[in-house]
């Protein structure tokens, strides 16, 4: 049997036939497939009942059809330590994602969490730890520093890859494939349960504007210690 030449070219008639077949295949695609291929913008605002914007609220869009999650991949994230604070204070990641904790202060930190969703410790270190932390279970992970008690942060491990965190104006935007979703909102100071914020939406048309009002509990924080004297201490 002859081996086809790598330099052979299809005839013009064969090329036209192939192009026609491709056009017919596209025309026969189900309307639902074409609809889901489009992206729909969701503009979300989160405020208190008296209209104050809520910053650092996590907004999650979970597809009603769980099959839509197939192929979703985790991504690497980062939470800095700046001026003895976690920056950002709230970090949302997709389950399975890794997060690094660079220390940008001139003192050492000891980052840890005892949360059921992820227990870990990064013993006293400066600079960047050798390994990132993988958050492999959905849930809320509260962060602390064993040296600086006032340092508090949160990793929200989402079971959906479509999420966003509100800015200082209480607003966030998500671009999601066109389909139905169950939306929900979480914040560390939220007075009610996250489940109470659930709302089903049909995101198969034009861009949508959505608003939530959530009651907030007062923030309770450990008082920062006075600035350490400049004598070359490590903490």
Q: Which CATH number does 73-159 carry?
A: 2.60.40.420
* Fold: same for 39-68+162-224 and 73-159: yes
Rounded (5°) CA angle 178-184-186: 140
- What is the tens place of the pLDDT at every residue in 132-159? 999 999 999 999 999 999 999 999 999 9
The structure's pTM equals 0.80
- What is the tens place of the pLDDT at every residue in 160-212? 999 999 999 999 999 999 999 999 999 999 999 999 999 999 999 899 999 99
Q: Which CATH number does 39-68+162-224 carry?
A: 2.60.40.1120
Phi/psi for 174 (5° steps) reads -125, 140
- What are the angstrom distances between the C-alpha of 23 and each of 15, 20, 195? 13, 5, 46
Residue 188 tokens, joined: 């560390």
Q: DSSP characters for 14-25?
A: HHHHHHHHHHHH
Domain ranges of the chain: 39-68+162-224, 73-159
Beta-bridged to residue 80, according to DSSP, are 87
Cα distance between the two ends of the chain: 77
């Amino acid at each position: 049997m002859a081996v086809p030449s790598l330099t052979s070219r299809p005839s013009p008639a064969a090329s036209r036939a192939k192009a026609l077949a491709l056009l017919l295949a596209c025309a026969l695609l189900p309307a639902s497939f074409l609809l889901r291929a489009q992206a729909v913008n969701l503009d979300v605002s989160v405020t208190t009942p008296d209209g104050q914007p809520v910053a650092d609220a996590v907004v999650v869009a979970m597809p009603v059809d769980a099959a839509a999650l197939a192929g979703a991949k985790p991504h690497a994230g980062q939470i800095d330590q700046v001026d003895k604070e976690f920056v950002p204070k709230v970090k949302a990641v997709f389950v399975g994602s890794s997060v690094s904790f660079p220390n940008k202060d001139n003192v050492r930190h000891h980052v840890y969490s005892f949360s059921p969703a992820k227990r870990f410790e990064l013993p006293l270190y400066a600079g960047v730890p050798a390994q990132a932390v993988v958050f492999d279970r959905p849930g809320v992970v509260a962060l602390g520093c064993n040296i600086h008690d006032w340092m508090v942060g949160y990793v929200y491990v989402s079971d959906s890859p479509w999420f966003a965190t509100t800015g200082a104006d209480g607003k966030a935007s998500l671009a999601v494939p066109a389909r139905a979703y169950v939306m929900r909102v979480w914040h560390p100071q939220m007075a009610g349960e996250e489940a109470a914020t659930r709302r089903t939406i049909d995101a198969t048309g034009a861009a949508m504007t959505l608003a939530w009002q959530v009651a907030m509990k007062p923030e309770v924080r450990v008082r920062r210690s006075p600035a350490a004297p400049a004598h070359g201490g490590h903490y």
